[in-house]
Protein backbone atom coordinates (compact mmCIF):
# COMPACT_ATOMS: atom_id res chain seq x y z
CA UNK A 1 0.00 0.00 0.00
CA UNK A 2 0.97 3.65 -0.23
CA UNK A 3 -0.06 7.18 0.63
CA UNK A 4 -3.09 8.28 -1.39
CA UNK A 5 -3.18 11.74 -2.97
CA UNK A 6 -6.65 12.94 -3.93
CA UNK A 7 -6.93 15.87 -6.32
CA UNK A 8 -8.83 17.24 -9.31
CA UNK A 9 -7.86 19.98 -11.77
CA UNK A 10 -11.38 21.39 -11.52
CA UNK A 11 -10.67 22.51 -7.95
CA UNK A 12 -7.99 24.84 -9.31
CA UNK A 13 -10.63 26.50 -11.49
CA UNK A 14 -12.70 27.71 -8.55
CA UNK A 15 -13.04 31.50 -8.73
CA UNK A 16 -15.03 34.27 -7.16
CA UNK A 17 -14.50 37.91 -7.86
CA UNK A 18 -11.64 40.20 -6.96
CA UNK A 19 -10.08 40.77 -3.57
CA UNK A 20 -6.99 42.61 -2.38
CA UNK A 21 -5.83 40.16 0.28
CA UNK A 22 -8.99 39.88 2.45
CA UNK A 23 -10.60 43.14 1.29
CA UNK A 24 -13.34 43.10 -1.36
CA UNK A 25 -12.43 45.45 -4.18
CA UNK A 26 -14.42 48.68 -4.36
CA UNK A 27 -14.28 52.27 -3.22
CA UNK A 28 -10.67 53.01 -2.34
CA UNK A 29 -9.60 49.34 -2.37
CA UNK A 30 -7.60 48.85 -5.56
CA UNK A 31 -8.08 45.56 -7.44
CA UNK A 32 -5.53 42.89 -6.62
CA UNK A 33 -3.48 40.90 -9.08
CA UNK A 34 -4.82 37.47 -8.24
CA UNK A 35 -8.49 37.75 -7.31
CA UNK A 36 -9.19 35.57 -4.28
CA UNK A 37 -6.44 35.24 -1.66
CA UNK A 38 -7.31 31.54 -1.85
CA UNK A 39 -5.90 31.39 -5.37
CA UNK A 40 -5.21 28.17 -7.22
CA UNK A 41 -1.47 28.60 -7.64
CA UNK A 42 -0.45 27.57 -4.12
CA UNK A 43 -2.10 24.18 -4.68
CA UNK A 44 -1.23 23.84 -8.35
CA UNK A 45 2.43 24.63 -7.66
CA UNK A 46 2.48 21.99 -4.91
CA UNK A 47 1.15 19.42 -7.35
CA UNK A 48 3.68 20.57 -9.98
CA UNK A 49 6.57 20.37 -7.49
CA UNK A 50 5.55 16.79 -6.70
CA UNK A 51 5.71 15.96 -10.41
CA UNK A 52 9.14 17.57 -10.84
CA UNK A 53 10.60 15.88 -7.75
CA UNK A 54 9.11 12.51 -8.67
CA UNK A 55 7.12 12.25 -5.45
CA UNK A 56 3.82 11.84 -7.28
CA UNK A 57 5.13 8.62 -8.83
CA UNK A 58 5.45 7.13 -5.35
CA UNK A 59 1.90 8.04 -4.31
CA UNK A 60 -1.46 6.54 -5.20
CA UNK A 61 -2.83 9.44 -7.26
CA UNK A 62 -6.62 9.43 -7.22
CA UNK A 63 -9.70 11.49 -7.94
CA UNK A 64 -13.20 11.36 -6.53
CA UNK A 65 -16.80 12.19 -7.35
CA UNK A 66 -18.63 15.18 -5.93
CA UNK A 67 -20.07 14.62 -2.48
CA UNK A 68 -23.69 13.56 -2.88
CA UNK A 69 -26.61 15.57 -1.58
CA UNK A 70 -27.21 12.86 1.00
CA UNK A 71 -23.63 13.28 2.24
CA UNK A 72 -23.92 17.07 2.28
CA UNK A 73 -27.24 17.00 4.16
CA UNK A 74 -25.61 15.24 7.10
CA UNK A 75 -23.85 18.55 7.83
CA UNK A 76 -25.57 21.34 5.89
CA UNK A 77 -29.33 22.06 6.02
CA UNK A 78 -31.27 21.86 2.77
CA UNK A 79 -32.07 25.58 2.95
CA UNK A 80 -28.39 26.44 2.76
CA UNK A 81 -27.59 23.96 -0.01
CA UNK A 82 -30.57 25.14 -2.09
CA UNK A 83 -29.60 28.82 -1.73
CA UNK A 84 -25.99 27.99 -2.66
CA UNK A 85 -27.03 25.94 -5.71
CA UNK A 86 -29.48 28.61 -6.93
CA UNK A 87 -26.91 31.39 -6.70
CA UNK A 88 -24.24 29.20 -8.28
CA UNK A 89 -26.46 28.37 -11.27
CA UNK A 90 -27.32 32.07 -11.68
CA UNK A 91 -23.68 33.08 -12.08
CA UNK A 92 -22.35 33.19 -8.54
CA UNK A 93 -22.26 35.64 -5.69
CA UNK A 94 -21.52 35.62 -1.97
CA UNK A 95 -23.62 33.89 0.68
CA UNK A 96 -21.55 34.58 3.79
CA UNK A 97 -18.49 36.53 4.86
CA UNK A 98 -15.59 36.51 2.38
CA UNK A 99 -16.99 33.55 0.44
CA UNK A 100 -17.35 34.69 -3.19
CA UNK A 101 -17.87 32.10 -5.92
CA UNK A 102 -18.64 32.07 -9.60
CA UNK A 103 -20.92 29.96 -11.78
CA UNK A 104 -20.49 26.31 -10.88
CA UNK A 105 -19.18 27.14 -7.43
CA UNK A 106 -21.61 24.70 -5.84
CA UNK A 107 -20.30 21.79 -7.89
CA UNK A 108 -16.64 22.54 -7.26
CA UNK A 109 -17.29 22.90 -3.52
CA UNK A 110 -19.08 19.52 -3.57
CA UNK A 111 -16.07 18.09 -5.42
CA UNK A 112 -13.70 19.50 -2.81
CA UNK A 113 -15.78 17.80 -0.11
CA UNK A 114 -15.92 14.64 -2.22
CA UNK A 115 -12.12 14.43 -2.38
CA UNK A 116 -11.87 14.60 1.42
CA UNK A 117 -14.70 12.09 1.83
CA UNK A 118 -13.18 9.55 -0.54
CA UNK A 119 -9.74 9.98 1.05
CA UNK A 120 -11.23 9.10 4.44
CA UNK A 121 -13.22 6.23 2.94
CA UNK A 122 -10.16 4.72 1.21
CA UNK A 123 -8.07 4.88 4.38
CA UNK A 124 -10.83 3.36 6.50
CA UNK A 125 -11.29 0.56 3.94
CA UNK A 126 -7.57 -0.22 4.19
CA UNK A 127 -6.93 0.44 0.49
CA UNK A 128 -4.10 2.86 1.32
CA UNK A 129 -1.96 3.54 4.38
CA UNK A 130 -2.90 7.19 4.78
CA UNK A 131 -4.03 10.00 2.52
CA UNK A 132 -3.81 13.64 1.51
CA UNK A 133 -6.73 15.53 -0.04
CA UNK A 134 -5.83 18.62 -2.08
CA UNK A 135 -9.24 20.16 -1.47
CA UNK A 136 -10.19 23.60 -2.82
CA UNK A 137 -12.18 25.56 -1.80
CA UNK A 138 -11.18 24.95 1.82
CA UNK A 139 -13.70 24.06 4.50
CA UNK A 140 -12.66 24.60 8.12
CA UNK A 141 -14.40 28.00 8.54
CA UNK A 142 -17.74 26.84 7.09
CA UNK A 143 -20.48 26.32 9.65
CA UNK A 144 -23.50 24.18 8.81
CA UNK A 145 -25.53 27.18 7.61
CA UNK A 146 -22.95 29.98 7.31
CA UNK A 147 -19.95 30.01 4.94
CA UNK A 148 -17.04 32.29 5.74
CA UNK A 149 -13.33 32.74 5.23
CA UNK A 150 -13.32 31.37 1.62
CA UNK A 151 -14.91 28.14 2.91
CA UNK A 152 -18.14 27.08 1.21
CA UNK A 153 -18.73 23.56 2.52
CA UNK A 154 -17.39 21.88 5.65
CA UNK A 155 -15.16 19.36 3.87
CA UNK A 156 -13.82 17.55 6.92
CA UNK A 157 -17.16 17.42 8.74
CA UNK A 158 -18.80 15.98 5.62
CA UNK A 159 -16.09 13.32 5.38
CA UNK A 160 -16.42 12.44 9.06
CA UNK A 161 -20.20 12.09 8.95
CA UNK A 162 -19.94 9.87 5.88
CA UNK A 163 -17.47 7.60 7.69
CA UNK A 164 -19.69 7.49 10.77
CA UNK A 165 -22.85 6.80 8.75
CA UNK A 166 -21.12 4.00 6.84
CA UNK A 167 -19.81 2.40 10.04
CA UNK A 168 -16.17 2.98 9.10
CA UNK A 169 -15.28 5.10 12.14
CA UNK A 170 -17.08 6.25 15.25
CA UNK A 171 -14.56 8.23 17.27
CA UNK A 172 -12.55 10.79 15.31
CA UNK A 173 -9.92 13.36 16.25
CA UNK A 174 -9.49 16.47 14.10
CA UNK A 175 -6.28 18.48 14.43
CA UNK A 176 -6.39 21.88 12.72
CA UNK A 177 -2.99 23.56 12.37
CA UNK A 178 -4.10 26.23 9.92
CA UNK A 179 -3.03 29.64 11.29
CA UNK A 180 -6.70 30.65 11.56
CA UNK A 181 -9.11 29.18 14.09
CA UNK A 182 -11.10 26.24 12.75
CA UNK A 183 -14.42 27.73 13.87
CA UNK A 184 -16.51 25.89 11.29
CA UNK A 185 -15.34 22.40 12.23
CA UNK A 186 -15.72 23.36 15.88
CA UNK A 187 -19.32 24.45 15.28
CA UNK A 188 -20.20 21.23 13.44
CA UNK A 189 -19.19 19.07 16.43
CA UNK A 190 -19.75 21.49 19.33
CA UNK A 191 -22.12 19.09 21.08
CA UNK A 192 -20.60 15.80 19.88
CA UNK A 193 -18.59 13.68 22.31
CA UNK A 194 -17.29 11.28 19.67
CA UNK A 195 -15.43 13.89 17.58
CA UNK A 196 -12.55 15.71 19.25
CA UNK A 197 -11.75 19.03 17.57
CA UNK A 198 -8.38 20.68 18.21
CA UNK A 199 -7.24 23.98 16.71
CA UNK A 200 -3.74 25.46 16.98
CA UNK A 201 -3.96 29.01 15.68
CA UNK A 202 -2.63 32.54 15.91
CA UNK A 203 -4.77 34.24 18.51
CA UNK A 204 -7.22 36.90 17.29
CA UNK A 205 -6.27 36.48 13.65
CA UNK A 206 -9.43 35.15 11.95
CA UNK A 207 -12.14 35.02 13.09
CA UNK A 208 -11.49 37.73 15.65
CA UNK A 209 -14.10 36.56 18.15
CA UNK A 210 -13.56 32.79 18.26
CA UNK A 211 -10.83 30.36 19.27
CA UNK A 212 -10.57 31.02 22.99
CA UNK A 213 -8.91 28.35 25.13
CA UNK A 214 -11.96 28.46 27.40
CA UNK A 215 -14.27 27.23 24.62
CA UNK A 216 -14.49 23.48 25.32
CA UNK A 217 -17.77 22.40 23.70
CA UNK A 218 -21.24 22.03 25.18
CA UNK A 219 -23.73 19.37 26.20
CA UNK A 220 -22.48 15.91 25.33
CA UNK A 221 -19.51 17.53 23.61
CA UNK A 222 -18.25 19.44 26.63
CA UNK A 223 -14.51 18.82 26.86
CA UNK A 224 -14.28 17.52 23.28
CA UNK A 225 -13.07 20.84 21.85
CA UNK A 226 -9.57 22.14 22.49
CA UNK A 227 -8.42 25.54 21.27
CA UNK A 228 -4.74 26.44 21.44
CA UNK A 229 -4.39 30.15 20.68
CA UNK A 230 -0.75 31.19 20.34
CA UNK A 231 0.75 34.68 20.11
CA UNK A 232 2.28 35.89 16.83
CA UNK A 233 5.89 34.89 16.22
CA UNK A 234 5.83 31.55 18.05
CA UNK A 235 7.85 29.75 15.39
CA UNK A 236 9.06 26.16 15.02
CA UNK A 237 9.82 25.39 18.66
CA UNK A 238 6.55 26.79 19.95
CA UNK A 239 4.45 24.72 17.56
CA UNK A 240 6.25 21.52 18.49
CA UNK A 241 5.88 22.35 22.18
CA UNK A 242 2.12 22.74 21.67
CA UNK A 243 2.03 19.43 19.81
CA UNK A 244 3.94 17.55 22.51
CA UNK A 245 2.31 19.13 25.56
CA UNK A 246 -1.28 19.55 24.38
CA UNK A 247 -2.23 18.04 21.02
CA UNK A 248 -0.78 14.54 21.21
CA UNK A 249 -1.92 13.84 24.80
CA UNK A 250 -5.44 15.04 23.96
CA UNK A 251 -5.67 12.82 20.88
CA UNK A 252 -4.29 9.84 22.78
CA UNK A 253 -6.82 10.32 25.58
CA UNK A 254 -9.69 10.50 23.06
CA UNK A 255 -8.69 7.11 21.58
CA UNK A 256 -10.00 7.79 18.06
CA UNK A 257 -10.56 5.30 15.25
CA UNK A 258 -9.31 7.92 12.77
CA UNK A 259 -7.24 11.12 12.85
CA UNK A 260 -7.80 13.95 10.37
CA UNK A 261 -5.58 17.02 10.02
CA UNK A 262 -6.93 20.30 8.69
CA UNK A 263 -3.66 21.00 6.94
CA UNK A 264 -3.23 24.72 6.38
CA UNK A 265 0.16 26.22 5.57
CA UNK A 266 -0.51 29.84 6.52
CA UNK A 267 1.57 29.46 9.69
CA UNK A 268 4.49 29.38 7.27
CA UNK A 269 7.01 32.16 7.78
CA UNK A 270 6.36 33.96 4.48
CA UNK A 271 2.56 33.89 4.53
CA UNK A 272 0.76 37.22 4.03
CA UNK A 273 -2.12 36.24 6.34
CA UNK A 274 -0.14 34.88 9.30
CA UNK A 275 2.78 35.86 11.54
CA UNK A 276 3.96 32.57 13.00
CA UNK A 277 7.31 31.98 11.22
CA UNK A 278 6.99 28.22 10.88
CA UNK A 279 9.35 26.39 8.52
CA UNK A 280 9.08 23.38 6.26
CA UNK A 281 10.68 21.42 9.10
CA UNK A 282 7.84 22.49 11.40
CA UNK A 283 5.30 20.86 9.12
CA UNK A 284 7.51 17.81 8.61
CA UNK A 285 7.91 17.31 12.35
CA UNK A 286 4.22 17.87 13.13
CA UNK A 287 3.31 15.32 10.45
CA UNK A 288 5.80 12.78 11.77
CA UNK A 289 4.46 13.18 15.29
CA UNK A 290 0.80 12.75 14.39
CA UNK A 291 1.62 9.90 11.99
CA UNK A 292 3.49 8.04 14.74
CA UNK A 293 0.63 8.54 17.17
CA UNK A 294 -1.95 7.34 14.63
CA UNK A 295 0.19 4.26 14.11
CA UNK A 296 0.05 3.55 17.83
CA UNK A 297 -3.62 4.18 18.55
CA UNK A 298 -5.72 3.70 15.40
CA UNK A 299 -3.86 1.47 12.98
CA UNK A 300 -2.25 4.41 11.19
CA UNK A 301 -5.58 5.74 9.88
CA UNK A 302 -4.60 9.33 9.10
CA UNK A 303 -5.93 11.79 6.51
CA UNK A 304 -4.65 15.30 5.81
CA UNK A 305 -7.05 17.75 4.13
CA UNK A 306 -5.59 20.90 2.57
CA UNK A 307 -6.91 24.18 4.00
CA UNK A 308 -5.25 27.64 3.80
CA UNK A 309 -1.82 28.91 2.85
CA UNK A 310 -1.34 31.97 0.66
CA UNK A 311 2.31 32.27 -0.32
CA UNK A 312 2.49 30.93 -3.87
CA UNK A 313 6.27 30.58 -3.71
CA UNK A 314 6.54 28.98 -0.27
CA UNK A 315 3.48 26.76 0.22
CA UNK A 316 4.67 24.12 -2.30
CA UNK A 317 7.80 23.49 -0.20
CA UNK A 318 5.83 23.30 3.04
CA UNK A 319 3.39 20.88 1.44
CA UNK A 320 6.15 18.78 -0.08
CA UNK A 321 7.86 18.40 3.31
CA UNK A 322 4.53 17.34 4.81
CA UNK A 323 4.01 14.73 2.10
CA UNK A 324 7.58 13.50 2.47
CA UNK A 325 6.84 12.79 6.12
CA UNK A 326 3.39 11.32 5.47
CA UNK A 327 4.58 8.93 2.75
CA UNK A 328 7.98 8.02 4.18
CA UNK A 329 9.70 8.71 0.85
CA UNK A 330 13.45 9.22 0.57
CA UNK A 331 12.88 12.14 -1.83
CA UNK A 332 13.83 15.50 -0.34
CA UNK A 333 13.14 18.96 -1.72
CA UNK A 334 14.99 21.64 0.28
CA UNK A 335 13.11 24.71 1.47
CA UNK A 336 14.80 27.68 -0.24
CA UNK A 337 13.72 29.96 2.61
CA UNK A 338 14.93 27.72 5.44
CA UNK A 339 18.03 29.77 6.32
CA UNK A 340 16.04 33.01 6.42
CA UNK A 341 13.31 31.55 8.61
CA UNK A 342 15.73 29.91 11.03
CA UNK A 343 17.22 33.36 11.69
CA UNK A 344 13.73 34.72 12.40
CA UNK A 345 12.93 32.20 15.13
CA UNK A 346 12.25 33.73 18.56
CA UNK A 347 14.87 33.79 21.28
CA UNK A 348 15.01 32.02 24.66
CA UNK A 349 13.01 34.67 26.53
CA UNK A 350 10.04 34.43 24.16
CA UNK A 351 10.32 30.64 24.09
CA UNK A 352 10.03 30.62 27.88
CA UNK A 353 6.99 32.88 27.70
CA UNK A 354 5.32 30.54 25.19
CA UNK A 355 6.18 27.51 27.32
CA UNK A 356 4.40 29.17 30.22
CA UNK A 357 1.27 29.82 28.12
CA UNK A 358 1.21 26.22 26.91
CA UNK A 359 1.67 24.91 30.44
CA UNK A 360 -1.27 27.03 31.62
CA UNK A 361 -3.46 25.72 28.80
CA UNK A 362 -2.42 22.12 29.52
CA UNK A 363 -3.29 22.49 33.20
CA UNK A 364 -6.66 24.04 32.36
CA UNK A 365 -7.40 21.19 29.95
CA UNK A 366 -6.32 18.54 32.40
CA UNK A 367 -3.45 17.34 30.21
Each residue's pLDDT tens digit, 331-367 = 999 999 999 999 999 999 999 999 999 999 999 999 9
pLDDT tens per residue across span 99-149: 999 899 999 999 999 999 999 999 999 999 999 999 999 999 999 999 999
pLDDT tens per residue across span 179-192: 999 999 999 999 99
Q: What is the mean pLDDT of residues 258-287?
A: 97
Domain count, the chain: 1
Check residue 36 and give its pLDDT: 76
The residues carrying an active-site annotation are 141
Check residue 293 and give its pLDDT: 98
Range of the domain at 41: 3-365
Average pLDDT, the chain: 95
Indicate which CATH number applies to the domain containing 9.
Answer: 3.40.800.20
Distance, in Å, from the CA atom of 306 to the CA atom of 135, rounded to the nearest integer, reads 5
Q: Evaluate if residue 34 carries a pLDDT over 70.
A: no
Distance, in Å, from the CA atom of 310 to the CA atom of 292, rounded to the nearest integer, reads 28
Q: Is 244 helix (H, G, I), strand (E, B) or coil?
A: helix
pLDDT tens per residue across span 230-254: 999 999 999 999 999 999 999 999 9
pLDDT tens per residue across span 295-327: 999 999 999 999 999 999 999 999 999 999 999
Q: Which of 26-40, 57-71, 194-208 is predicted with the least confidence, judged by mean pLDDT? A: 26-40
Distance, in Å, from the CA atom of 251 to the CA atom of 327, rounded to the nearest integer, reads 21
From residue 366, alpha-carbon distances to 82, 97, 226, 255 in Å are 43, 35, 11, 16
| Buried b / exposed e along 159-198 (16+ C-beta atoms within 10 A) | bbbbbbeeebbebbbbbbbbbbbbbbbbbbbbebebbbbb
Q: What is the mean pLDDT of residues 83-93?
A: 95
The DSSP call for residue 68 is: P
Question: To the nearest whole percent, how much of the chain has pLDDT over 70?
Answer: 99
Q: Evaluate if residue 198 carries a pLDDT over 70.
A: yes
Amino acid sequence: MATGFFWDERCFWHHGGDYALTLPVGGYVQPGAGGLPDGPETKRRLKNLMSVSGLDRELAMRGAAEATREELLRVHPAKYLDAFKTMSDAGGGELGLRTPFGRGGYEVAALSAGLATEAVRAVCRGEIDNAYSLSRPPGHHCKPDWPNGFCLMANIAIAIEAARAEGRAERVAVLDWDVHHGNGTEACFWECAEVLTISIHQERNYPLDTGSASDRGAGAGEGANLNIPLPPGVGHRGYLAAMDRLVLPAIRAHAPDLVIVACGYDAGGMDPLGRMFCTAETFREMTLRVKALAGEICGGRLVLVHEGGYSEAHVPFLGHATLEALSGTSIRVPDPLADTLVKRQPGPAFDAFVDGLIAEQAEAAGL
